Amino acid sequence: MFEQLHTPEDIFSFKLGSALSMEHDVEKILADLEEHAQRPELKTMFREQAAVTRQQAANIEQSFALLGEKVDDSPSPVTKGLAAEGKAAIRKTDDAIVDAVILAGALEAAHYQIAVYEVLVTNAHARGAADVAALLGQNLAQEEAAKDAIKAVATRISTEGIAYHPTSTPGAAHTAPAAVADPTAAR
Ligand SMILES: [Fe+2]
């Protein structure tokens, strides 16, 4: 890891290493979200996003190789914070409505990653590393697709009713509060 950053190339490599730490953190976050999500469709989405995350980490490692540099291990405190915040929110939320908290955490993580890759792609172009910019551009497009998918589910759930009670579970006769379940109620 760098002690001091002296050049734009140093900054780029430091931020690229931080993005790798970010993706390793996000893989753990996604596993946690998959474990605690109630709706099967969310578990599937997070499992698929974890597979994409591993590919993104590989793209970053390949970017270091293309630059002829060894993989940097810069820290990523933001994703450590997102992980801690998500765990705390999940712990204090009832299972029936925890999907809303989980989707909020996933959306926040997606937006942070979009910002990280926007900067990296811009700076990869600036240093004339078109091949690296293309690889990181793939990651950016995947983050934007993930953000859109998470937002679509969050929007649908917020209107159809956040509470979830699997029909096969005893006690499934519980229904969501009318104010939440009725999409017209909030208008
Ligand atoms: Fe990612």
Q: Is residue 184, in this structure, part of any structural domain at all?
A: no
Q: How far is the CA of 30 from the centre of ligand 1 (A)?
A: 10
Q: pLDDT tens-digit profile of 62-91?
A: 999 999 999 988 999 999 999 999 999 999
Q: pLDDT tens-digit profile of 84-141?
A: 999 999 999 999 999 999 999 999 999 999 999 999 999 999 999 999 999 999 999 9
Q: How far is the CA of 54 from the centre of ligand 1 (A)?
A: 8
Domain, as residue range, for 142? 8-160
At residue 1, the pLDDT reads: 62
Q: Is residue 79, in this structure, part of any structural domain at all?
A: yes
Q: How far is the CA of 176 from the centre of ligand 1 (A)?
A: 33
Q: Is residue 53, in this structure, part of any structural domain at all?
A: yes
Q: Is residue 128, in this structure, part of any structural domain at all?
A: yes
Q: How far is the CA of 8 from the centre of ligand 1 (A)?
A: 23
Q: Is residue 168, in this structure, part of any structural domain at all?
A: no
Q: Is residue 176, in this structure, part of any structural domain at all?
A: no
Q: How many domains does the chain have?
A: 1
At residue 23, the pLDDT reads: 98
CATH number at residue 28: 1.20.1260.10
Q: Is residue 167, in this structure, part of any structural domain at all?
A: no
- DSSP letters, the chain, are --SS--SHHHHHHHHHHHHHHHHHHHHHHHHHHHHH--SHHHHHHHHHHHHHHHHHHHHHHHHHHHHT-PPP----HHHHHHHHHHHHHHHTS-GGGHHHHHHHHHHHHHHHHHHHHHHHHHHHHHTT-HHHHHHHHHHHHHHHHHHHHHHHHHHHHHHH-S----TTSTTTT----HHHH-TTTT-
Q: Is residue 3, in this structure, part of any structural domain at all?
A: no
Q: How far is the CA of 111 from the centre of ligand 1 (A)?
A: 10
